Amino acid sequence: MLTRRTLGRTGLEVSSLGLGCMGMSHAYGEPDDAESIATIHRAIELGCTFFDTAEVYGPFTNEELLGRALKDRREGVQIATKFGFVIGQGSFAGADSRPEHIREVVEASLRRLQTDRIDLLYQHRVDPKVPIEDVAGTVRDLIAEGKVLHFGLSEAGVDTIGRAHAVQPVAALQSEYSIWERNLDDRILPLLDELGIGLVPFSPLGRGFLTGTAKRAEDYPEGDFRAKGDPRLQGANFDANMRIADLVRAIAAPHGATPGQVALAWLLQKRADIVPIPGTKRRTYLEENLAADDITLSVEEVARLDGALSTFAVSGERYGEKALSMVDR
């Protein structure tokens, strides 16, 4: 069974590893609802209680899937979902964190999730048109009403985090963070320490790259995010970045572990208030990921992984230009 961790100072206790549910409905190939629901149920059996979704995944269908899967298993699990996009005609087009829109999204998410409360509500991306104080104030009111229990931010920068936290304490920041994506090290992590905010890394396996099983962008089918959305997997970038995957594989071998398990173990040993959310829609990969909680890396192994980026610089941005423009830095 997984160990437990607390995110932030607002009392949100979750399993040490969560399950990112996005790929069950969005961005990573054809859905398989039956296997996805079986994966969610298996996660609960193994002590994983923290499930991550968003209205934009699908859109809407991922929340509906999670609602069906957890309908009779709601007690003892924690659901995180997100607001903050304009959604129309099956896609999202820009940010929208107006207070009235936040309330509309929460009511709709509660219906799709078949629940009376959202354990952790994130602003999915910072909306430059709406003061973050108004956003945090709206979530504060929803917490007072019992519809939301904790407040989170996703891909937010230092100024935004500080201003939001002053209005409503932030339990967690969700951002991309892994052995090969270290954009939080210099400014964000010290601020999280100062304010007592937990970290929920998405793509902790580098969109599959750190597992050693990733393919070149051009080898993914049309409709898979990795085919066009991650420059690190494209062309010469892919070849250059394989050096990092090779290092992780070398450290995994003496442990009898997979590279993905080592990538997750590294995160778990970085901070006591970090909860990675590797995504999968298959029970086999779920069980492999959750077993990372049992792996202990040596001080020397952690240091080698810490230094991976100074030894082998990552080649390519983590998003295309349009998506990167929505990241608040």
CATH superfamily label, 4-324: NADP-dependent oxidoreductase domain (3.20.20.100)
Q: How far is CA 110 from the centre of its chain?
A: 20
Q: Is 220 a catalytic residue?
A: no
For the chain, the distance separating the N- and C-terminal CA atoms, rounded to the nearest angstrom, is 37
Selecting among 28, 57, 122, 177, the annotated active-site residue is 57
| Residues sharing a CB contact under 8 Å with residue 209, sequence separation 6 or more, in sequence order | 180, 232, 233, 241, 244, 245
pLDDT of residue 100: 98
For residues 131 and 26, give the distance between their C-alpha atoms in angstroms, rounded to a whole number.
30
Residues in the chain with pLDDT values less than 70 = 89-92, 319-320, 322, 329
The predicted pLDDT at position 320 comes to 67
pLDDT of residue 175: 97
- Helix and strand counts by DSSP (H, E) for the chain: 13, 11
What's the number of CA atoms in the CB half-sphere (13 Å) around residue 83? Answer: 25
Quick one: pLDDT at residue 213?
Answer: 82
Strand residues in 48-188 grouped as ranges (E): 50-52, 78-83, 85-88, 91-95, 118-123, 148-154, 170-176
- Separation between Cα atoms, residue 81 and residue 109, nearest integer Å: 8
Measured from the Cβ of residue 193, the count of other Cβ atoms closer than 10 Å reads 12
Q: What 3-state class would DSSP assign to 48?
A: coil
Q: How far apart are CA 292 and CA 290, in angstroms?
A: 5
Domain ranges of the chain: 4-324
Residue 329 is predicted with a pLDDT of: 66
pLDDT value for 315: 78
Quick one: pLDDT at residue 67? Answer: 98
Burial class (CB in 10 A: 0-12, 13-18, 19+), 195: middle
- 88's tokens: 């129309």
Which pLDDT value is given to residue 89?
A: 63
Q: Identify each DSSP E strand in the chain by its residue range.
A: 4-7, 12-15, 19-20, 50-52, 78-83, 85-88, 91-95, 118-123, 148-154, 170-176, 198-202
Cα–Cα distance between 142 and 109 in angstroms, integer?
Answer: 13
Which single residue is written with the structure tokens 């054809």?
30
Per-residue pLDDT, 256: 98
C-beta separation of 152 from 120 below 8 A? yes
